[in-house]
Amino acid sequence: MSVTGNQTVIRLRLGLLTLLLFAIGQGQGCQVQSSGAAETKDWWETAQFYQIYPRSFKDSDGDGIGDLNGITSKLEYLKDLGVTAAWLSPIFASPMVDFGYDISDFFDIQPEYGTLDDFRALIKKAKELDLKIILDFVPNHSSDENEWFKKSVKREKGYEDYYVWHDGKVNAETGKREPPTNWLQYFRGTAWEWNEERQQYYLHQFAVQQPDLNYRNPLVVEQMKRVLRYWLNEGVAGFRCDALPPLFEVLPDADGQYPDETVTGATDDPDDRDYLTTTYIEDRPESIDMVYQWRTVLDDHKRIYGGDSSVLLIETYSAAWFTMQFYGNRTTEGAHLPFNFNLITVMDQKGLSAQTVQEAIDLWLKNMPAGRTPNWVLGNHDKRRAASRYGVDHIDGMNMLVMILPGASVTYQGEEIGMTDGEISWEDTVDPWGCNSNPDIYEMYTRDPERTPFQWTGGSNAGFTDGPTTWLPLAGDYETVNVETELAAEHSHLKIYKMLVALRKSSKTLQNGSTKYLALTEDIFVVRRSLANSPTIVGVINFGSETKTIDLREFDKNLSGNLQLLVRSLASTKSEGTTFSAQMLSVDPAEALVLTTQ
């Protein structure tokens, strides 16, 4: 429940250097606590990351599809928000079956998004604004239109084993050929596809058009490292690695056969991935080692060319015991930040309450290895939008939470203005996960609602495009929920978000202080950061539907006297700058407050 930031930092540095500093420090009294450049945090450790879904961020040429020049034209907006780095969902050449997660050329830009020169202009402008750009790295699969796959189909020399090929097996009763195993893809149905030309099945853990690369082939491993180096040379500040759990599959047995997965009982739908276990096709130990190897590529690049650290962020929805290994082990560094989705997944299972928030935070901080940096994610392009999931009432509170908690946090575009999901009919559905189902159940699978165009203004097509159409319909609330309106308003989700980012940037306590948090009651969640000689910062959120009066001394004896209000949720009737008694603080339903001791 209580994690001490200072101790964590010290544990991290228990190398020779720190021993040395300690020795010097002890001779000079308390110097180690207050000076010590070695203790300064690297940029990513307290960063605010912002995820851009390029197709839906900003269209520059009127075709209704977001593009690179659109992003470049909005970098000032990101600067104004105060975020540290933007990570772009895939911008590489792609037939767009999975909207960029099916890459046909890892070394080129998708033409409808722009050119390599446009990308260079984006990087240049970002550098001028001191914004970092991170790219999506999609290692598990390529598009079936990738040259590598075409060559592999033809068994061209060097490409024979680029993908996971298999003869399949013959059914003893029918005499017919069948896929090698019962494995299921994420997007519903079998994970094996017969290729007529090569006369073999290939594995695809995602769509049919996304064949899995074979990481047991050293040529593939080396090729993918080339991809990393190529974009590092173009000036990116790191990568967010997509879909790590399915990277490796189990090794086949001596006869070249793979084992079947077993039925879980979690669903009756035999096409749903949850119908079977994923023991043999997810969370293999080799995936962790591969991440360590990529980290080496990044660190080597810095060693050779200098500059700031480039970072590795990892997407994995795995259990804590597996996820935490991505951070690295005692001898080897891994990902800087394996994404923490607990604030999404725990709430999806158990609903939103002070108790589940505490559970989600515990699940990360109590499992995280000492000296690592935590991170907090509220949403992405695969999950219903945060304001829709938590309720619009709670979007400010959740934004407060992730910015008060220690470490880095990640915003999915639109969370800062409280954007909600669009309503997309079956006819308008384009996401393969939705399209692979049927009109009765597609809403369970489709990810289109969280991908609707970003809402810049209340005007035509929400200011997303000057053209007549948008690639996905707009969400219905754009006339009131948009950047222009919220910037003009005295108080708005956007302004609250900006205040929070600014606070985290300027507050030593938030960057470096120790952390304590507690579900004080079923409804009231409290988090406190404190640092010697700096103001303490306290966040209070009421997840319930009744006004509650709390005594913060029950949470922390030191919190007596008055607290000053720094930031409040949109519907709150309290005013910033006012002081409140810590012993008798009244908190309205869904109200969220950030307070300070000074």
Ligand X SMILES: *[C@@H]1O[C@H](CO)[C@@H](O)[C@H](O)[C@H]1NC(C)=O
Q: Is 125 exposed, middle or buried (0-12, 13-18, 19+ CB in 10 A)?
A: middle
Minimum separation from the CB atom of position 508 to ligand X (A):
4
Give kind and range of the element (H or E) at residue 192. Answer: strand 192-195
Number of neighbours of residue 267 by Cβ within 10 angstroms? 13
Minimum separation from the CB atom of position 101 to ligand X (A):
3
Q: Is 130 exposed, middle or buried (0-12, 13-18, 19+ CB in 10 A)?
A: exposed
Of 120-128, 302-310, 378-386, 454-462: span binding ligand X (CB under 6 A)? 378-386
Of 16-24, 303-311, 362-370, 553-561: span binding ligand X (CB under 6 A)? 553-561
Instruction: Name the binder of 290 from Ca ion, ligand X, none, CB < 5-8 A by kind.
Output: none
Please give the backbone phi and psi of residue 148, each rounded to the nearest 5 degrees, phi first.
Answer: -60, -40
- Ranges within 569-588 binding ligand X (CB under 6 A): none
SS3 state of residue 327: helix
- Ranges within 248-287 binding ligand X (CB under 6 A): none
Which member of 127, 229, 366, 508 binds ligand X (CB under 6 A)? 508
Q: Is 179 exposed, middle or buried (0-12, 13-18, 19+ CB in 10 A)?
A: middle
| Buried b / exposed e along 471-493 (16+ C-beta atoms within 10 A) | bbbbbebbeebbbbbbeeeeebb
Instruction: Name the binder of 537 from Ca ion, ligand X, none, CB < 5-8 A by kind.
Output: none
Q: Which is nearer to ligand X, 380 or 446 (CB)?
A: 380
Whether 48 and 83 have beta carbons less than 8 Å apart is answered as: yes
| Residue 557, both tokens | 């004896």
Q: Which is nearer to Ca ion, 51 or 60 (CB)?
A: 60
Q: Which is nearer to ligand X, 137 or 478 (CB)?
A: 137
- 512 contacts ligand X (rule: CB under 6 A): yes
Count the residues of the shown chain that bind ligand X, applying the rule CB under 6 A.
28
**Residue whose structure tokens are 């043999």:** 280
Which member of 375, 380, 388, 569 binds ligand X (CB under 6 A)? 380
Interface residues toward Ca ion, by CB under 5 A: 59, 61, 63, 65, 67, 140, 212, 246
Minimum separation from the CB atom of position 100 to ligand X (A):
9
Q: Which is nearer to ligand X, 206 or 543 (CB)?
A: 206
The pairing of beta strand 92-93 with beta strand 592-596: unpaired
Which member of 292, 390, 445, 464 binds ligand X (CB under 6 A)? 292
Task: Find the catalytic residue in 144, 272, 315, 421.
Answer: 315
Residue 440 annotated among the catalytic residues of the structure: no
Q: Which is nearer to ligand X, 272 or 315 (CB)?
A: 315
- Residue 236 is which amino acid? V
Which member of 101, 294, 497, 543 binds ligand X (CB under 6 A)? 101
Give kind and range of the element (H or E) at residue 88. Answer: strand 85-88
Give kind and range of the element (H or E) at residue 468. Answer: none
- Ranges within 319-338 binding ligand X (CB under 6 A): 329-332
- 430 contacts ligand X (rule: CB under 6 A): no
Task: Find the catalytic residue in 242, 249, 272, 448.
Answer: 242
> For residue 164, what are the β-bridge partners?
none
Minimum separation from the CB atom of position 380 to ligand X (A):
4
Residue 222 annotated among the catalytic residues of the structure: no
Alpha-carbon span 503 to 244, nearest angstrom: 33
Q: What are the residues whose beta carbons fall under 8 Å from the beta carbon of 329, sequence distance 6 or more?
A: none
Please give the residue ranges that form the binding site for ligand X (CB under 6 A): 6, 9, 33-34, 36, 39, 98, 101, 138, 206, 242-243, 289, 292, 315, 329-332, 380-382, 508, 511-512, 556-558
Just list the catalytic residues: 242, 315
